[in-house]
Every structure is written in C-alpha cells, then in structure tokens.
Structure 1
Amino acid sequence: FTDGIGCVLCEEGDFLMVWDGSRSGYVGKAIKGALGSTLVRLKFPNIDTNYAYYFLQSKYIEINTRAKGVGIPHVDPNLLWNYKLPIPPLQEQKTIVSKIEELLSDLENGKQQLLLAQQQLKIYRQSLLKWAFEGKLTSVRTGRDLSQKDGELSEGWKWAKITDIVENNKHSLKAGPFGSSLKKEFYVEKGYKIYGQEQVISDNAFFGDYYIDEEKYQELKSCQIKPFDILISLVGTVGKVLILPANCEKGLINPRLIKITLNKDVYLHKFFKYYFESSYVKNFYGSKAQGTTMDVLNLGIIKTIPFPLPPFVEQQLIVDELESKLTVCDKIDETISQSLQQAETLRQSILKKAFEGKLI
C-alpha cells in the first residue's frame, strides 16, 4: 500500500502495459491504485479503450520478442509509437470489440475444456499407478479376488524394504561421494564419466561431458556404476529415476545422486521406476525431506520407504499394462497440448483479422 504521494495513480479499467521484464509488452486493465515501477498507463483519446486494448494484444508477441535492453528487457518505444492503428468510426470500433469478445469467449471455453481434460488425464495416470501397485490393474489376468480394502496389497504380495530388493553386496545401495572429493578441478576431457542430476532429469545417460582420470576413479571406486543400475536424484528435482542402459559409459555418481543395484531376480527395474516416481512415494518422502529452500532426499529416507513386492512374473505383467495404457495417455496429452497451441494461434488470427477489417 501507499499514501499516493508522488505516485502515478490509475482508476478501475485504465489501460496498462508491462514496460520492463520478461512480460514486457503485456497489456491489461487496472484496478484502482498506484502504478508499480514496471508499468505504464496508456490513454487513447477519442478511441474505445477496449479497441486499443485488443489492438495492442495483437502486437504482444512482436513487442515482447523485440524488447530492448541487455539485462532487463523493456518495450522498444520506437516500435510501439510507430504502429499504425486503424481508426474506424466509434460505433464500428464497438462492433469490432463485441465480435472479438464473442469469438474469444468461445475460444476460451474450448481452452478450459482442454485444460480440464488435461487435468483429468493426470488424475487417471495416478489412479493407474495406484491400482498397479495394489494389484488391481492385473487382477483380471491373474484371476485374483478384488475384495481387499482400498490401499491394501493383493493376495500373494508383501511389503519390503529397499535392502530386501537390492543385490547382496557392500555397494548395492550407495550415496555419491562428498562434494570436496569431486570438484571441477579434477575434471578431464576424456576418461570415466561423472553421472549427475543432468542425466537423471533428462532421462538420458549419454547427456553431459564431465569426466575424471583413472587415479580419481580408483579413489572413488565405491561409487562406480554398472549397466542397469538405478540412479536417483536427491536435490531440487528429487526422486527422478534413471535406469542405466546396457551400453552406458564407465563412471561414477556425483554427490547429488544415489545408486541402487537391484537384485534382478527379485525386483524388475521398470517396476521400481514406475513405483518410485508415483505420487504415493513422492508424498511419502516429501513429508520427510529435509531442506530449507528446496526438497532434499537422502539414503536414510529411502531406507524407510515401503516397497510392494508382488511375484516377479506379475511385476512384468504390471509393467506391460502400464506401458500400454500410459502410451495412450501420452498420445492424448500430446493432442491436447497441440490443440492448446492451436488455440493461441487462433486467438492471434482473430485479433489480426479484426484490425485488417476482415472480422465484420
């Protein structure tokens, strides 16, 4: 709040433009108050305010992408003041505005339906994963009774700890080395690959080009990876899972990852990935994560996570069902995203035609 002294004041419905920052060129209508430092108030005498408003909306992309400034971008006044605004009679301006609002209202309704479908798709995905890890997704194929209560495991399943499903060796469950052990000054052009969050978050084991030499690799050998190991991100974007491929480069993990070597006769790698990235597990460790400005996951928290352990053959059935159904979800989601992009293109087309005199 402000006492208004020395401020530029605006009234309800005044026409404002963002002058500085990433949204420079964006226009909107004010509520009564004082202007912030990044805004300007525009007035168009003898022109319908909404007519001018929609005209500058039609120019937003150009104004925004042609902003000036190295640090903080701002509207290029030479571009803005040199636009030629066609000015028909006032009544015709109002008619054009009315038609624009009619078409944009229909477009917005369609957009909201798409966003609703997108949200419902997310809910369906999580429901699929929930059913999968309770045994309900494969109940028909296994001939199992569905009488268990919501949240209970199916007959023949049990809960396990992470230590029950990894290989029986010293380094099957391993956090990365201390940060001081792997500073950038140790990096070389070629050698043993350093795996970090960039590979896990991008789901691409071949991304990145940080390497260490033989001496440093031997020093940190307990953190080395091998094909089909599970890598989990610990900081920021926590809980993302990467399954290393058979042809991954030799190397080791950095301090922001945990490496898990599953017992391949007990737990399927893809089954682990689907489960660990599900909302159930995210909610579980989210309530325990220790972090100030961002969430953090650690080995201690992972050891407390319960893992459903169905028969191994059923794990493969579940993975097959999930991949089949989630592939359909991905295709629908892609179609929705394309439609949302087309809606924005159509919006710009409506505005463009309006000020070319082709809308009415």
Structure 2
Amino acid sequence: MLKDWIEVELGDVCFTTSGGTPSRSKSEYYKGTIPWVKSGELNYGLILDTEEHISDEAITNSSAKIFPEGTLLIALYGATIGKLSILGVPATTNQAICGIYKNELFETKFLFNYLFHKRQKLIEQGTGGAQPNISQAILKKLSLPLAPLPEQRAITAKIEQLFSELDNGIANLKAAKSKLEIYRQAILKQAFEGELTKEWREKQTKNHGNHVNQKNHSTDSLPETWKWVKLENLAVVGTGATPKRGESNYWQNGSIAWITSGALNDLYVKEASEFITEAAIKETNCKIFPKGSLLIAMYGEGKTRGKCSELMISAATNQAIASIEINDEFKEYKKYVKWFLLKNYDDIRMLSSGGVQPNLNLTIVKNTKLPLCPIEEQNQIVQEIETRLSVCDKLNESIDQSLEKAQALRQSILKKAFEGKLLSQDELQNCRQQPDWEPAAKLLERVKKDSKTKR
C-alpha cells in the first residue's frame, strides 16, 4: 500500500442497510412505479429498471426503502451471492441485497472493483451450510484501502481500460472456439458424405480401374461403393435397468460397475460411481456389457440425450442408456460407427419423442441409418477425422488455457490496483497535481469534520 493510503473498515466509513419484501398477499403493493431490485438482477452493471415495481404504500408497510442513485448493491445470499451492481436510478431492493450508500470518501466504481476483487473471500467468510450468507456484520468488518480521490479515479479508469482490452481478447478467443466447433462439425459431415476421401477414391480408381468415385444416385448421392445400413444390422442393441433402491442386497458391497447416462458426457467411460451385486444381475433386467461397447444416452438432463461414449470397462447400465455391441463379423467397423454416432448427435436428438423431456428409445437407436463404405475407406475416413480433429483439440486446449490465464489476469490487475502498484510514477505524479488531491488520512479527517458540521 502506498504511503498516502490508509486502511479503514467498511463499517466505519460507509453507511449500509438492506431492503425488504412487501407482502405478496397485497397485490396493490406491486402495482407501483418504484423499481424493486431482486438479487438475481445484480449483473455487475448499471441498474436502470427492474422486473417488478412497488408502490409508496408498500414502502410504508415493509422494510423496503428507497436507495439513492449511485448506491452500490451487493447480494448477501442466494445463487448470486457476492454479485454487484450500481443503481443508475433511485430504487428499492429485497432483503437479500445490501445497499452501500455513496459517500465523499470513495469513488463508487473504485469500491465496486474492490468488492469484486474480494468476492470469493466474502463468500468464504459467509455463514451457513450449503448456501452461505454474507451478513452486514461481515461486510462492515471488511478492510478497505482508502486512496486519495484522484488516484481512485485514475485506478478505476486504468482498470476499465485494461478490462476492456481483456474482454476484447476473451471475445476473440471465444469466437475462435466457436469457429473451431463449426469446423469440427464440417469435418464430420464431410467424412460421412464421402468428401474427405474423394481424392483417395480417385486414386483407387486409377490403381484398380473401377468406378468407386461415382455417385450412387439411388442412395441419396452416396459414392457408388457406399450404402445405407441400419445400426441393428451391424450390432446388438440393448439396454439396462435400475435395480430397486430399497433392496440392499442389490447395492450393498456391490462390485459390478453400474453406469448412468450422466457418465456419457465424456468420450470414454473409464470408471463408475455406483456398483451393484451379482444378485441384481440375476434378479433384474440388468446385464453386463463388455468393454468396448458403444453407449448412447436415450434420455437425461440438458445436453446428455444423444451423447455417445465407449465403455473402457465391463459394466451394467441403467435403462436410460442403449448399449451397442458390434457383431463379431463387423468388429473392425467400431471406430467408424462411433465417429458416425458422435457426428449424428444433433440428428438423433431431433428424433426424440415425449413432452418436457423428450426421449430416445431402442427402436429409434436400432433404426438409425449410417452410410457404410468398404473397410479400407472406413479406415481412411477414421484416420482423416482423427488427424484433423486432433489439431482442433490442441487448438481448443490452447484457447481454454488462454481463457483461464485471462481470468487470472483480471484478478492480477485488481490485486496490483489495490496494492497501489497499477499506476506508473508519471500517472501518480499527475494525480498529485489534481486540485482535490490530499493524503487519504487528511481526506478522512476532512470528511469526518464536514459530517459533524452538517449535523
């Protein structure tokens, strides 16, 4: 900390209070024009309007109060705990929000950035179990660096400039990541339309004098040596079950891996989080699928439905998973089939049926058609896919590392800012030439004196 800075406790220099929720049974309370902020609306930006508005009567009959424009808001608990916003208009809040009134000691954005920097620390200090609370008592005990006002302004401006540059870099990285995903999908699409191996087929034509590069117009313009086949013609498609949870002899001391659809978000299933017993296999519809079986999630939360993975262990599954065991005569086709199922993710999801949570079923999986080509070309396609996507994966990994570094850099910028190390000597000298520059101790003394005079 610089010599002209001092450390103060938030409760000693800032006035804080929380809001309230008017009675929901009084519908007229929510027909007013006064903005009423809920903690879910705190988004690190400026709040100019809110989802709900309350009346003057609601304020009179509840603990809600009007905070002035410029008040800094922080969420005390809930999913948004520690999130911040600044009021761009006078507004009220619910009790999950603490308002920190604007004062003459701090530039609001300087304080905003400091609290953003300390968010994780505040959450860790929060009391409670699964969902911690930041109390006003914790907030009031928070140590703040008080800097001369011109330095606060200069630091805030520099943080905004550096964050803007950082945000532009992050946006470019995310755009590159999106383009990589588009490229990835294009590679898979071309692979199963015969485009990736077009030159390879032409070479085969020259070498063998056949016409493998011609189109088979009777099968949706596939190359002539390709044909559509149903998955059930290449593999045994089955499913598992969930042993009754109340039967301890199905679960207690189990040693057989049992997989649910949530495990299919990775390309390979290498371990299980639950295990069942031999009794569960014998007495229920559970069955053990061999290592190497392909799995498709027939239903599950979010993006799980339609995901494809490969068992790297022998395991049973629940009924939300379809197991695909490639027939012995087609064992060499497995890599090709797996890549097709990965490529087919969006298409197979569209075939799902049902209401709120659409499902696939065994019939849909069995009837899935894939474009089959000779094994030599399958091997070539798999090689092309894996070579190109391996480059994609390396680039993607590099982008993810850069994104992580960008987030770390954001915290590094804030750390330097509040240690007094962000501004150069020239920038600090420029601050000291401002008419309102004074050491923080004198600033605090003057504001306290002015406050007593006003009383």
Same structural fold, with TM-score higher than 0.5 when normalized by the shorter chain: yes
Distance 1:133 1:10, change over 3 A: farther
SS at match of 1:357: coil
- Equivalent residue number for residue 336 of structure 2: 271
Q: Does 1:35 align with 2:93?
A: yes
Q: Offset of 1:309 from its aligned partner?
A: 0.9
Distance 1:65 1:133, change over 3 A: farther
- After superposition, residues 284-303 of structure 1 pair within 5 angstroms as 284-303=347-366
Q: Identify the match of residue 217 of structure 1 among 259, 277, 281.
A: 281
Q: TM-score, normalised by structure 2?
A: 0.69
Q: Identify the match of residue 206 of structure 1 among 241, 255, 271.
A: 271
| Contact kept in structure 2, 1:182 and 1:254, CA below 8 Å | no
Q: Does 1:157 align with 2:214?
A: no
Q: Which runs of 5+ in 2 are unaligned?
A: 1-51, 203-211, 424-455
- Equivalent residue number for residue 412 of structure 2: 349
- Equivalent residue number for residue 307 of structure 2: 240
- Equivalent residue number for residue 53 of structure 2: 2
Distance 1:332 1:227 in 2: 31
Comparing 90-99 and 45-54, the one that deviates more? 90-99
Structure 2 letter corresponding to 1:238: R
Q: Offset of 1:97 from its aligned partner?
A: 1.2
| Contact kept in structure 2, 1:44 and 1:52, CA below 8 Å | no
Q: Does 1:17 align with 2:50?
A: no
- Equivalent residue number for residue 261 of structure 1: 325
- After superposition, residues 174-193 of structure 1 pair within 5 angstroms as 174-177=238-241, 179=242, 185=248, 186-190=250-254, 192-193=256-257
| Contact kept in structure 1, 2:77 and 2:133, CA below 8 Å | yes
Q: Does 1:229 align with 2:293?
A: yes
Task: Name the % identity.
Answer: 29
Distance 1:317 1:137 in 2: 9
SS at match of 1:268: helix
Q: Which runs of 5+ in 1 are unaligned?
A: 167-171
Higher strand share goes to which structure?
A: 2
Q: Does 1:324 align with 2:387?
A: yes
Structure 1 letter corresponding to 2:103: P
Structure 1 letter corresponding to 2:369: P
Q: Offset of 1:162 from its aligned partner?
A: 1.6
Distance 2:376 2:67 in 1: 68
Distance 1:314 1:87, change over 3 A: same
Distance 1:18 1:291 in 2: 39
| Contact kept in structure 2, 1:24 and 1:67, CA below 8 Å | no
Q: Identify the match of residue 335 of structure 1 among 376, 390, 398.
A: 398
Structure 2 letter corresponding to 1:16: L
Structure 2 letter corresponding to 1:330: D
Distance 2:280 2:157 in 1: 70
SS at match of 1:23: coil
Q: Identify the match of residue 177 of structure 2 among 99, 118, 121.
A: 118
Structure 1 letter corresponding to 2:309: L
Q: Deviations over 1:322-348 (max 9, x none)?
A: 112212211111111111111111111
- Equivalent residue number for residue 445 of structure 2: none
Q: Identify the match of residue 56 of structure 1 among 105, 110, 115.
A: 115
Q: Offset of 1:320 from its aligned partner?
A: 1.4
SS at match of 1:341: helix
Q: Offset of 1:164 from its aligned partner?
A: 2.1
| Contact kept in structure 2, 1:234 and 1:256, CA below 8 Å | yes
Q: Deviations over 1:91-138 (max 9, x none)?
A: 232122111111111111111111111111111111111111111112
Q: TM-score, normalised by structure 1?
A: 0.85
Distance 1:148 1:40, change over 3 A: farther
Distance 1:180 1:86 in 2: 59
SS at match of 2:414: helix
Distance 1:76 1:14, change over 3 A: closer
Q: Identify the match of residue 140 of structure 1 among 199, 204, 207.
A: 199
| Contact kept in structure 1, 2:226 and 2:373, CA below 8 Å | yes
Q: Deviations over 1:164-206 (max 9, x none)?
A: 222xxxxx222324x4678653224245443433554453243
Q: Does 1:105 align with 2:164?
A: yes
| Contact kept in structure 2, 1:86 and 1:355, CA below 8 Å | yes
Q: Deviations over 1:217-256 (max 9, x none)?
A: 34558844234322222221222223334xx34x543322
SS at match of 1:259: strand
| Contact kept in structure 2, 1:12 and 1:31, CA below 8 Å | yes
Q: Deviations over 1:53-75 (max 9, x none)?
A: 11111112222233221142111
Distance 1:302 1:89, change over 3 A: same
Number of aligned residue pairs: give it: 347
Q: Offset of 1:152 from its aligned partner?
A: 4.3
